[in-house]
Structure 1
């Protein structure tokens, strides 16, 4: 008999809550998630499943209409699962994000290969798509780039493809340290360094021309002074990971530091902002 070693949790929730749920579940150790028509499927090793943690998460969002069911599943071929559920992503007809099992498309100027172990950081998340759009409209040639909270390192990969000479990407999630280098290899990247930690613990040398931070509102507000200190005058700061109704809080935090808001972007109620440092 095959060993049962995973717990599957199927959530029924509003579409606008799905991305928040993904982020929260990642913190609880759910390492594979797939969007479904009216919610989300999340998987965690059975030995790591904690019913109390799950119930506490839903209590915190009691005002949101979320229901769930759990089931045991046998070991499955995740590549096969992703092939069923993962489609390539296109950004402005210029950049295409695909998995290893999709055929290449030479019609796109830039093509990025991401092994989709997680459902965010693949371009499917609105904030990732918005950040990539801003990147495509920004000169990266010869620039030093810092990718804060890099996840799969998709933004770092695009930065190199756009001509960045050096990219430092970091995240405090251990799965990033496993997945990001794999994606760098798939894209033949040569100028990207991956570190595990936070902006206050990693080894940062010198200043950067571009800082990319797609995290969440609270972390962005907390770390804004760091971004300011590591960005050269005239540099570019791109921020996302928050809803459009929160963007004024971000703007109010950034502008007093000597920045000018240059571009805004919105997609599915999410926001991305691009600032120039004066």
Structure 2
């Protein structure tokens, strides 16, 4: 078995709360329905005890757990996936959709089981911010690259050097495929944690992961940023901004911009001398 799907039936008012809790517990793909939602994660990340403890707090919520073997995710995805637009400048589409050359940025993505098609509010906000951030000639690190979509945007924004990391085999395979679809070359793709990347002088570090990982790795991001470099964070709720900003300040990282969308947040910080 390769991944676990959790089917949750609940009052719609609880959906955001439960998704946030499950996101923290390792679930990284969600689909909402009128009567609840489904969440998926790799079997190796699934902690059944944590899930049981969580749902004891919500006695009126029911759930079922299903283990599934590796499927043709592209085929399943093709049945439901629609292109998305970020502002009026970027479109994220699949290869089977009609090309849209009228957009300034066109990104082609085939996500398999990876997180990051642009549909989720976190990815959307980072893409939107990237389109207004100077990447030209700069060195960019994308931590937890997923589908590679944010690294692809960095390349389209003319970054000079791009390093992308992920701990997941699916994501590494998927990123390579998506880089090829978008004619993005010369990306250094690393399977592993951020400590596989030597401390360096990156101009931009991007991490769209989740709150706990971001808090744990904050000093690692700072160590890899040059002075006045920018750290772009997402994967957390608006209510988490204060905690992340407080931890960032300890490493000389200070907020310069933030956005929210559907209760999810994006935080941009600058590295300063302390």
Scaled to the shorter chain, the TM-score interval is 0.7 to 0.9
Distance 1:160 1:223 in 2: 24
Q: Residue by residue, what CA displacement relative to the aligned partner does 1:134-153 show, whole Å, maximum 9, x if unpaired?
A: 11110000110000111111
Tell me if structure 1 keeps the 8 A contact 2:26–2:41: no
**Contiguous gaps of at least 5 residues in structure 2:** none
Q: 1:259 to 1:85 in 2, by over 3 A?
A: same
**Contiguous gaps of at least 5 residues in structure 1:** none
Tell me if structure 2 keeps the 8 A contact 1:58–1:66: no
Distance 1:216 1:72 in 2: 23
Whether 2:155 is the aligned partner of 1:154: answer no
2:254 matched residue in structure 1: 260
Q: TM-score, normalised by structure 2?
A: 0.84
Q: Residue by residue, what CA displacement relative to the aligned partner does 1:160-213 show, whole Å, maximum 9, x if unpaired?
A: 01111111110112211221111111111113121111112x143632000001
SS at match of 1:134: helix
Whether 2:213 is the aligned partner of 1:213: answer no
Tell me if structure 2 keeps the 8 A contact 1:122–1:128: yes
Paired residue total: 267
Tell me if structure 2 keeps the 8 A contact 1:91–1:133: yes
1:40 matched residue in structure 2: 37
SS at match of 1:179: helix
1:139 matched residue in structure 2: 134
Q: TM-score, normalised by structure 1?
A: 0.83
Whether 2:83 is the aligned partner of 1:82: answer no
Q: CA RMSD in A?
A: 3.1
Q: Which among 243, 249, 273 is matched to residue 237 of structure 2?
A: 243
Tell me if structure 1 keeps the 8 A contact 2:24–2:210: no
Distance 1:265 1:165 in 2: 27
SS at match of 1:82: helix
Whether 2:110 is the aligned partner of 1:109: answer no
Tell me if structure 2 keeps the 8 A contact 1:15–1:38: no
Q: Residue by residue, what CA displacement relative to the aligned partner does 1:31-73 show, whole Å, maximum 9, x if unpaired?
A: x86544443346789xx699x9546423234334642246798
SS at match of 1:90: strand
Q: 1:168 to 1:71 in 2, by over 3 A?
A: closer
